[in-house]
Amino acid sequence: MADQRGLTTDRARHAVVIGGSVAGLLAAAVLAEHAERVTVVERDRFPEGPEARAGVPQGRHIHVLLEGGQKALEQLLPGLCDEMRAAGSPEVGMPGDMVQWQGGRWYRRTESTAVVFTGTRPLMEHAIRRRVLADSRIRTVGGTEAVGLAGDARRVRGVLLRERGTTHRNNPELLEADLVVDASGRGSRAPRWLAELGAEPPQEETIDTGLAYATRLYRDGSRGKVADALGYYVVPNPAQTYGAVVLPVEGDGLHLVTLSGLRADQPPTDNEAFEAFARKLPHPIVTEWLSAAEPRSSASAYRRTANVRRRYDRPGARPSGFLATGDALCTFNPIYGQGMSVAALSALALRDALADRRHPATTRRVQKALLAASNTAWDICAGADKSMPGATGNAVRFRAADRPASWYLRRVQAHAPGNPVVGAAFRAVLGLTAPVGALFAPRVLRAVLFGSVPAAPTEPPLGRERAADAEDAC
């Protein structure tokens, strides 16, 4: 190991990852190339197959793997996307396969320029876990929770563990490590642990819209009579705060349906009331789909949807030998579907930072690379959520510099439903395959600044546009 400020000038003997979810598993896969051994500490005991587990409270809800996440995963675990296809994870093309309402307008269903995987979270996590844990350099410690860090304000030297379910009177066990990576998720206690070592906890940026959602599993009974589509997507905005997503998952005709609302009007988990809540949407198409569908589960709720970014990258009296990644570093409003993709992009950033022989892998430099991997996702969700009514948090305030960008992005969103060129650029940014700067490419810029807002469907587009029709419309 390096000096007090470094991570990997020599091969690390032992790295510990706190948390065995997607971000933790992918971090472990990367670290196995730089350490003699890697230990993943997980509160749950991993299931044998693709099963939901208590440590992933949002695991029963809709998850998508964006194109940016797919590309990152293929670099980290080549062939994984083919494995997910073989396991039955559906793929949905945007906008061709989706009936989408956003910003008060229906999207034209032109040829798809982006594809998302929509299989369940347990299926995707199982595929990743099976690949990562096949590496003999990686071991797991299940049914165990981290309760603190060992070391001092200059360097972390391990993690304190306690078997889950034992009393707090039991002395924790020390697991020594040359590097500790916190991938424990949204509820990370690392800021407190660092303070206990005499170090400086990170500043936190928060934006909370109060959004809450509920999800239920259905079997599609519409037989294509509602629309020739794989999914439905109603995106809330400041003027219309109700949302809905209907997406296919593995299994014959199975779909997850998520309904969302804000603090004052949250979707219920009572099964009958759940379907009644869908009538609040700006169009009855989701209600029509539900009326023909067969419920296959009860509704489950999720309420912790604030955007939180912990600024470990900023200067401060923090120890070397400690990193944060995944939701422990930056967590997003789940309605944007970015979490798993950002976890993969962060692991790719970790890989590149540790492999860069031109610069020493100091704690701060690697941590900055990890945060940078989430910047586009943060800009998307923070920019949108700041405008929602009742949003709270210390990062809600608009700065003067934000106003021109907000004006331009509103123009982009107005053009995207009806203009395939603008729509493709918008989807590339939302899919984390292009930076926000792609929205300022010459063709997009000309259309947004000088073109009139194109016509969009006045009613839900029930079928895909033919290529000839799309060309004529342009």
**Please, which pLDDT band fits residue 467 given cuts at 50, 70 and 90?**
low
Indicate the residue type of 297.
Answer: S
As to burial, measured by CB atoms within 10 angstroms (0-12 exposed, 13-18 middle, 19+ buried), residue 181 is: buried
Taking residues 256-269, what's their average pLDDT?
A: 95
- Does the pLDDT value for residue 292 go beyond 90? yes
Report strand pairing: 12-18 vs 254-261: unpaired
The domain locations on the chain are: 12-63+125-206+306-381, 211-302
- pLDDT grade, residue 139 (50/70/90)? very high
Q: How far apart are CA 428 and CA 66, in angstroms?
A: 10
Q: What is the pLDDT of residue 424?
A: 97
User: Is pLDDT at 2 greater than 80 in this prediction?
Assistant: no
State the pLDDT at residue 43: 94
pLDDT at residue 173 in the model: 95
pLDDT in the model for residue 34:
94
Q: Please give the C-alpha separations between residue 198 and each of 61, 191, 362, in angstroms, as whole numbers.
A: 39, 11, 20
Gap between the Cα atoms of 256 and 247, Å rounded: 6
Question: Helix, strand, or coil here: 226?
Answer: coil
401-413: average pLDDT: 89
- Using CA atoms, how far apart are residues 159 and 429, in angstroms rounded to an integer? 38
Q: Is the pLDDT of residue 203 over 80?
A: yes
For residue range 213-236, list pLDDT tens digits in order: 999 999 999 988 999 999 999 999
Residue (of 202, 172, 176) closest to 189 by Cα position: 202
Mean pLDDT of the chain: 93
- What is residue 6's predicted lDDT score, i.e. its pLDDT? 55
- If you average pLDDT over residues 385-403, what whole number do you get? 90
Q: What's the pLDDT tens digit per position in 92-136?
A: 999 999 999 999 999 999 999 999 999 999 999 999 999 999 999
Domain 12-63+125-206+306-381 listed as CATH 3.30.70.2190: no
* Predicted pLDDT at 12: 67
Average pLDDT of 163-192?
Answer: 90
Whether the pLDDT of residue 264 is over 80: the answer is yes
Burial 146-159 (b: 16+ CB within 10 A, else e): bebbbbeebbbbbb
Whether the ω angle into residue 460 lies within 30 degrees of 0, i.e. cis, is no
Domain covering 211-302: architecture: 2-Layer Sandwich (3.30)
pLDDT, residue 9, reads: 37
**The amino acid at 341:** S
pLDDT band at 426 (very low <50, low <70, confident <90, very high): very high
**Kind and range of the H or E run holding 299:** none
Structure confidence at residue 3 as a pLDDT band (50, 70, 90):
very low
Question: What 3-state class would DSSP assign to 65?
Answer: strand
Which of 65-74, 87-96, 166-175, 445-454 is predicted least confidently?
Answer: 166-175
Q: CA-to-CA distance for 342 and 374, rounded, in angstroms?
A: 6
Q: What is the mean pLDDT of residues 151-170?
A: 87
Binned at pLDDT 50, 70 and 90, residue 468 comes out as low
**Strand pairing category for 35-41 and 138-141:** parallel
Secondary structure of the chain: what % helix, strand, coil (to 5)? 30, 25, 45
Closest of 167, 468, 178 to residue 320, by C-alpha: 178
Neighbours of 121 (CB within 10 A): 25
